[in-house]
Chains A and B, each alone.
Chain A
Amino acid sequence: MTEDAINQNPNENPESQNKPEVSPPASPVGEKTPPIEAKEKVSRRSFLTSATLAWGAFAVATAGILTGAGRFFFPNVLFEPPQTFKAGYPDEYTIGEVSERWKEKFGVWIVREKGMIYALSTVCTHLGCTPNWLGNEKKFKCPCHGSGFRSTGINFEGPAPRPLERYRIVLADDGQIFVDKTKKYQHEKGQWSDSESFIAV
Chain B
Amino acid sequence: MDAFKSIINSLSEPQIMFSFLVLVFFFIFPPSDKLYRIHKKLRLDLLWTNVGGVFIFTGLFVFFGLGVTDENFRLIVTKPDNVPIVGLLFLTIFFLWLSMKQGRDNDIRLAEGQKPNEYHDPEDKVLVWPDLVYIELIAIVLCSILLMVWSIYLKAPLEGPANLADSPNPSKAPWYFLGLQEMLVYFDPWLAGVVLPSFIVLGLMAIPYIDSNRKGQGYYTFNERKTEISLFLFGWLLLWVFLIFVGTFLRGPNWNFFGPFEEWSLSKVVPLTNINLSELVYVRWLKTGLPDNIFLREFFGISFVVGYYLILPPLLARTILKKFYSKMGIFAFSMFVILLLTSVTLPIKMYLRWTLNLKYIVAIPEFFFNI
Binding site for B on A (CB under 8 A): 1, 4, 103-104, 107, 122, 126-127, 129-132, 134, 136-137, 141-146, 148, 156-159, 161-162, 188-189
Contacts and interface: CB of A to CB of B under 8 A. Distances in A.
B359 interface: yes
B167 A159 contact: no
Contacts of A122: 164-165
Contacts of A107: 164-165
A130 B122 CA distance: 60
A146 B274 CA distance: 12
B187 interface: yes
B365 A188 contact: yes
B169 A143 contact: yes
Interface in B134-193: 163-171, 181, 184-189, 193
Given A103-B165, A107-B164, A159-B188, A145 B181 contact: yes
B185 A145 contact: yes
Interface string B347-371: 0000000000001100101101010
Contacts of B186: 159
B222 to A, nearest CB: 24
A159 B184 contact: yes
Interface of B: 122, 163-171, 181, 184-189, 193, 253-256, 267, 269, 272-274, 359-360, 363, 365-366, 368, 370
Contacts of A143: 167-171, 253-255
Contacts of B169: 132, 143
Given A104-B164, A143-B167, A143-B170, 20 more contacts: A107-B165, A127-B193, A134-B254, A134-B267, A143-B169, A143-B171, A143-B254, A143-B255, A144-B184, A144-B255, A145-B185, A146-B185, A146-B256, A156-B273, A156-B274, A157-B272, A157-B273, A158-B255, A159-B187, A189-B366
Closest 10 CB pairs of A and B: A146-B255, A162-B365, A143-B169, A104-B165, A188-B365, A157-B272, A144-B171, A141-B254, A161-B370, A143-B171
User: Interface on chain B toward A: helix, strand, loop, or mixed SS?
Assistant: loop
Contacts of A188: 365-366
Nearest to B193: A127
Contacts of B255: 142-146, 158
B209 to A, nearest CB: 23
B159 to A, nearest CB: 14
A154 B272 CA distance: 14
A146 B170 CA distance: 9
A161 B188 contact: yes
A131 to B, nearest CB: 8
Nearest to B218: A1
Contacts of A161: 188, 359-360, 363, 365, 368, 370
A1 B119 CA distance: 11
A157 B168 contact: no
A122 B167 CA distance: 11
Contacts of A162: 365
Nearest to A128: B189
Contacts of B164: 104, 107, 122, 130
A107 B163 CA distance: 11
